[in-house]
Amino acid sequence: MRTTALFLILLLATVNLTAQTSEGRSGVQLLNISKKNTEEQKPVTRTVRDETLPKIIVITPDLTIDSGKKSTNGRLIVKGKVDDEGGVFEVLVNGIDAKVATDGSFLADIPLSIGENPVTVRATDISLNRSSFTFIYERIPEKIAVVPPKPVNKYSINLVTPSTDTYTTASDKFNLKACITATAPLRRVMITRNGNFVNGFFANNITKKDNCDFLVDEPLSLRLGMNDLKIEVYADDDTISKNVTVEYSLYAAKNYALLIGNQSYDDPQIPELEEPVKDVNELYNVLTKEYNFAPENVIMLKNSTKAEIIGKLHELRSLINPLDNFLIFYAGHGFWDEGMGVGYWLPKDAAKSNPVNWIPNTDLTNYLGAIKTKHTLLIADACFSGGIFKTRSIGETFAIEMLYQLNSRKAITSGNLKEVPDQSVFFQYLIKNLKENTSDYLSSEELFSKMKLAVMNNSPTVPQFGTIQNVGDEGGDFIFIKRKEGK
């Protein structure tokens, strides 16, 4: 009996196990085997691998037999859908990640090269099963319409004066010249200075001249410092411009000086002096070290004859130009002829009893008229030196720029028609004020006003300042310009 019962139990267990194994082929099954009088066992889960490949459907482009699969576009939009029950992991189109929706729809934007382009769609599901689909898409080149080139109109602005984009001048007057050439009509030409309108020319007054379709020839007044000039040319299809910077600088002019000191005389009847040569040396040092006088442009004549003085004045006529400035300093004996109303300088070879070698003021004024300068200043420290004036006046003081613009022929003398002492208080205060001046620009009138009272308070003479008449004075003044680094 016991043997028969045991056999039945084993048979039942075998049948149950066989049935469960057969069912497990279609999926996951639970095996629940237990013995009597024992605890219930937990279910055991077994997973069957998904080996179904994802299915790729391409919707765009249309890949039917009738489809040309050609385009001139440089990019291709690929749309489609991937079917997979387990879910889609990724979709790549020619290696580019496509955007994938939860239902498996995908979209990718890929570049195309000219010619045939293999396009491969590769889909991977969450079980890493992969499938791919490849088709050929051809990109054909666009037909480019040949458009005849438009005629290119050419314009140019060629400077004549100045010849470069930057220029420095010692004059407040400047003539801007430029040759404009064009292959098409000009509508307008405008000229500005520092952003302000100067002049304009329109089509009706733009005329051809020589090789220029229009010649700019514009006289301009400059302000002290930088002047930004601009020429603008307007045409129907273009606008061009040219900028020029012109600096109006007092430093651009050359300053010449002739310093004459006579203290030794051939005629024993003319007394010797002690100071003139020393004064010339001291004035030379001040002018060349502290003011804008180049040493090579300062000439010193010491104990010189009439021929040497007149010869040097004659030489300077061809050396100095109308934009330069000229200073003459004379220290020595002078003489006033009351009967003739003429004053004289006495050079080294002068004879007291014979005026043949004397230098009359009329000769000096003739040379001052012949030497064409911007400004000429005569400083005379001699007896009767005031005879150089026809009239005397100290006019209204203008700004330095205005004084420099107008030509001048001025004189400062140590006295009027009286003798002056050898120990020159006049020169003492002249040199003192030149040395102590701290202004960049010092007019001769201002220099005289600073020293006049000091001379009068410390000597019996009355210094004089005024205009030398009939030699080109226009109301300007000689300006002493302080030397600067690099100037």
Task: Supply the DSSP string of 252-316, one letter for each residue.
Answer: GS-EEEEEEE----SSTTSPP-SSHHHHHHHHHHHHHHHBS--GGGEEEEES--HHHHHHHHHHH
Whole-angstrom distance between the N-terminal and C-terminal Cα of the chain?
A: 140
CA gyration radius, the chain: 54
Element (H, E) at 96: strand 96-97
Which own/partner contact pairs does 144-152 have at CB distance under 8 Å and 24+ positions apart? none
Homologous superfamily (CATH) of 155-248 is Immunoglobulins (2.60.40.10)
Q: Which residues are CB-neighbours of 315 under 8 A, at least 6 positions away? A: none
CA atoms within 13 A on the CB side of 109: 3
Of 5-14, 152-161, 187-196, 214-223, minimum mean pLDDT range: 5-14
Three-class SS state of 452: helix
% the chain with pLDDT above 70: 84
Query: In the 8-state DSSP scheme, what is residue 249?
Result: -
| Average pLDDT taken over every residue of the chain | 84
Q: Quote the tokens at residue 475.
A: 């109301």
- Over 188-225, what HEC string results? EEEEEECCEEEEEEEHHHCCCECCECEEEEEEEECCCE
Contact 76, 135 (CB under 8 A): no
Cα distances from 174 to residues 209, 229, 248, in angstroms, run 21, 11, 9
Task: Give the angle subtended at the CA of 171 by the CAs of 168 and 176, to the nearest 5°.
Answer: 70
Phi, psi (rounded to 5 degrees) for 374: -75, -45
CATH of region 55-139: 2.60.40.10
Distance, in Å, from the CA atom of 77 to the CA atom of 60, rounded to the nearest integer, reads 7
Distance, in Å, from the CA atom of 275 to the CA atom of 426, rounded to the nearest integer, reads 12
Position 423 confidence tier, pLDDT thresholds 50, 70, 90: low
Distance, in Å, from the CA atom of 210 to the CA atom of 239, rounded to the nearest integer, reads 23
pLDDT, average across residues 278-285: 96
Find where tokens 């085997």 sit. 33
Distance, in Å, from the CA atom of 382 to the CA atom of 426, rounded to the nearest integer, reads 10
The residues with which 131 forms a beta bridge, in sequence order, are: 123
Asked if the model's pLDDT at residue 33 lies above 70, the reply is no
Position 65 confidence tier, pLDDT thresholds 50, 70, 90: low
Work out the number of other CB atoms within 10 angstroms of the CB of residue 72. Answer: 11
Find where tokens 């007044």 sit. 221
Work out the number of other CB atoms within 10 angstroms of the CB of residue 205. Answer: 9
What pTM was computed for the model? 0.64
Asked if the model's pLDDT at residue 240 lies above 70, the reply is yes
Asked if the model's pLDDT at residue 29 lies above 80, the reply is no
Element (H, E) at 174: strand 173-182
Work out the number of other CB atoms within 10 angstroms of the CB of residue 195. Answer: 7
pLDDT at position 303, please? 96
- 155-248 matches 55-139 in CATH topology: yes
The topology under which CATH files domain 251-481 is: Rossmann fold (3.40.50)
Element (H, E) at 11: helix 2-23
Q: Which residues are CB-neighbours of 466 under 8 A, at least 6 positions away? A: 389, 391, 392, 393, 394, 410, 411
Question: How is 108-120 classified by DSSP, letter by letter?
Answer: EEEE--SEEEEEE
Q: Which residues are CB-neighbours of 124 under 8 A, at least 6 positions away? A: 54, 88, 89, 90, 91, 130
Q: Quote the tokens at residue 351.
A: 């004879």
Q: What does the pLDDT look like over 135-188, one tens digit per residue?
A: 999 999 888 888 888 778 899 999 999 999 999 999 999 999 999 999 989 999
Q: Sort 353 into a burial class: Cβ within 10 Å, 0-12 / 13-18 / 19+.
A: exposed
Distance, in Å, from the CA atom of 480 to the CA atom of 445, rounded to the nearest integer, reads 11
Position 416 confidence tier, pLDDT thresholds 50, 70, 90: low
Contact 273, 357 (CB under 8 A): no
Distance, in Å, from the CA atom of 431 to the CA atom of 12, rounded to the nearest integer, reads 143
Three-class SS state of 66: coil
pLDDT at position 43, please? 54
Q: Quote the tokens at residue 143.
A: 């037909």
Q: What does the pLDDT look like over 466-476, one tens digit per residue?
A: 888 888 888 89
Find where tokens 């514009």 sit. 218
Annotated domain spans of the chain: 55-139, 155-248, 251-481
Three-class SS state of 454: helix
